[in-house]
Amino acid sequence: MAEESFFKKSMKIAVPVALQAMLQSSFSMIDQVMVGQLGKTAIAAVEVGGKPGFVFAFVSGAVATVTGIMVSQYMGKEDDEKVDVSMSVNLLVMMAIALLTTMACLLIPQMLTGIFTKDAAVIKTGTDYVRIVSLVYPLSGIASILAVQIRCNDHSEYPLYISAVAAIVNTALNFILIFGHLGAPALGVKGAAIASVASQVVNLALMIRFYNKICKFRFCIKLSEVELKQYITILFPIVFNEFMWTVGQNVNTFIYGHMGTDELAGMSLTGPVQGLSIGALSGLAQAAGILIGKRLGEQEYDKAYEESRKLCLYGFAGSVILSAALILLRSLYVGLFKVDANVAAIGGFLLLAFAILAPVKVQNMILGGGIIRSGGRTKYIMIIDLLGTWLVGVPLGLFTGLYLKLPIVWVYFILSQEELVRYIITVFMFRSRKWMNTIE
């Protein structure tokens, strides 16, 4: 495969996926920018109220990753029955996780928000947000699994179009419900939550419509004992890894929240733009999973390795451009929020720190989140991520934030060195080629 044709093939998947990820991240950014007009308490409330969704997004993303590994490899083998089994089993797992998350948000919302802050006003507002947004999880979970098979069938553009429509719905309803336009009551943070639910209803309805147009699906969960063991071997490390990683990130939010509401609000300002920036290059991680997964399914290991290296180079170039743009535009972004000078300054410096770290973060996404996982050897990335998060990131965050009481910018930058540790280990794993594997 020529360089140009491989580049085009990877971009055909990566660009639509990246744009879709950016649109998904824009839901959070739109909420934050519009809610940001209500002050720092509302901003902090959406931040802590969105934490259950943050955990669910990564755990559900893990299930979607497993689906992509299985579907892409079985498509490489032209085994349609196994594709159906992969979709069926992963849909059931996704629904179980989504319903558990929804029930937790409905039953103990105040406990979930109270973990991250001692500010009573933030807890009260965040609790209302958690209850309403709990309905999002089954909707987004099913849609994410359907989108995987659509992409594997070389139609990455359809999930992109669907996300664009959902983003428009979310923005319009935010405008109406947060501020009370067009005769609607001004619901504030509750309005943002309702808009999120409505947009995900639209998202799922359109995803089902396009899925039925493109993909053939027969519900089937016939797994042999060997296949079940293989599935659990692939699934458990990814789900456990993503869960423990998000718990680690929530420990970081706990640290920021207990440093003060200004610090929590400043970090909250950066969340959407971080998601948007990483989303811009997340398409390469998904392209890596699909393209390299198909190569491994065809047992073309040398091509898989060489194409993996190319994808890493594409990601590095893109992340450098992204970081430069973020450094130049960070003050403009922070200026969109009606917050005091201290919160704005914290947000601006945190974005600068993120821009410096972004190239390493993106390489970890492509190598760990796409390439190495495509072989089904998911335990390798689980071990690497757990070492980075729990032996480096969390201890450094607790020590610098709660014991040394350093400024939040330095706390964030120091604890983020876990990304560098993760990257060094992952490069050694990649070069060993032990991750290359064709699933049965």
Out of 42-56, 88-102, 310-324, 422-436, pick the least confident.
42-56
Q: 39: which DSSP letter?
A: -
Integer Cα distance of 177 and 144 in angstroms: 26
Does 346 fall in a domain?
yes
Alpha helices by DSSP H, 260-335: 261-297, 301-334
Kindly give the interhelix angle for 189-214 and 3-35, rounded to the nearest 10 degrees: 150
* Domain limits for position 164: 3-432
Do residues 332 and 318 lie in contact, with contact meaning Cβ atoms separated by under 8 Å?
Answer: no
Domain assignment present for residue 158? The answer is yes
Q: What is the domain count for the chain? A: 1
For residue 308, the number of C-alpha atoms closer than 13 Å in the C-beta half-sphere is 31
In a domain, 139, yes or no: yes
199 vs 229 pLDDT, higher one = 199
Confidence tier at 326 by pLDDT (50, 70, 90): confident
| Most confident region among 141-145, 188-192, 224-228 by mean pLDDT | 141-145
pLDDT for the residue 99: 93
Asked if residue 71 lies in contact with residue 152, where contact means CB atoms within 8 angstroms, the answer is yes
More confident residue, 394 or 1: 394
Is residue 438 domain-resident?
no
- Give me the DSSP letters along 321-378: HHHHHHHHHHHHHHTTS---HHHHHHHHHHHHHHHHHHHHHHHHHHIIIIIGGGGT-H
Residues 252-272: what's their mean pLDDT? 78
Q: Give the C-alpha separation, 373 to 429, whole Å.
A: 12
* Rounded Cα distance, 287 and 103, in Å: 34
Cα separation values, 301 from 13, 93, 160, Å? 21, 31, 31
The answer on pLDDT for 414 being more than 90 is yes
Top pLDDT among 379 and 198 is at: 198
**Residue 59 near residue 100, CB atoms below 8 Å:** no
CA–CA distance, 185 with 187 (Å, rounded to integer): 6
Separation CA 416–CA 423 (nearest Å): 12
Q: How confident is the model at residue 221 (pLDDT cuts 50, 70, 90)?
A: confident
Of residues 383, 438, 361, the one with CA closest to residue 236:
383
Q: How far apart are CA 426 and CA 308, in angstroms?
A: 13
Which CA distances in Å does 145 have to 60, 202, 269?
9, 16, 30
CB atoms closer than 10 angstroms to residue 111: 12
**How confident is the model over 281-317, as pLDDT tens digits?**
666 777 777 778 778 777 788 888 888 888 888 888 8
Six-digit token pair at 388? 């980075």
Confidence of residue 26 (pLDDT cuts 50, 70, 90): low
Q: Name residue 103's amino acid.
A: M
**Does an H or E element contain 389, and which?**
none
Domain assignment present for residue 439? The answer is: no
Mean pLDDT of 35-58: 75
Asked if the structure places residue 189 within a domain, the reply is yes
CB 151 within 8 Å of CB 20 = no
* 348 is a domain residue: yes
Q: How many CA atoms lie within 13 A of 313 on its CB side?
A: 8
- Residues 365 and 325 sit within 8 Å (Cβ to Cβ): no
* CA gap 301, 303 in Å, rounded: 5
Residues 336 and 36 sit within 8 Å (Cβ to Cβ): yes
State the average pLDDT for the chain: 82
Locate 385 and state its tokens. Answer: 């991520």
Q: Nearest-CA neighbor of 312 among 66, 99, 75, 10?
A: 10
The whole-number average pLDDT for the span 124-138 is 88
Q: Which residues lie closer than 8 Å to 340 by C-beta, 6 or more apart?
A: 40, 262
Q: How many CA atoms lie within 13 A of 238 on its CB side?
A: 28
The predicted-structure confidence for 198-210, as pLDDT tens digits, reads as follows 999 999 999 999 8
- Rounded Cα distance between 234 and 283, Å, is 22
Residue 169 has pLDDT above 80, yes or no: yes
Tell me, yes or no, whether 440 lies in a domain: no
Of 53, 42, 72, give the one whose Cα is nearest residue 286: 72
Position 1 confidence tier, pLDDT thresholds 50, 70, 90: very low
pLDDT at 206: 94
Contact of 410 with 350, CB cutoff 8 Å: no
* Mean pLDDT in residue range 329-335: 84
- 192 and 32 Cβ atoms separated by less than 8 Å: no
Average pLDDT of the residues in 327-337: 84
- pLDDT for 202 equals 95
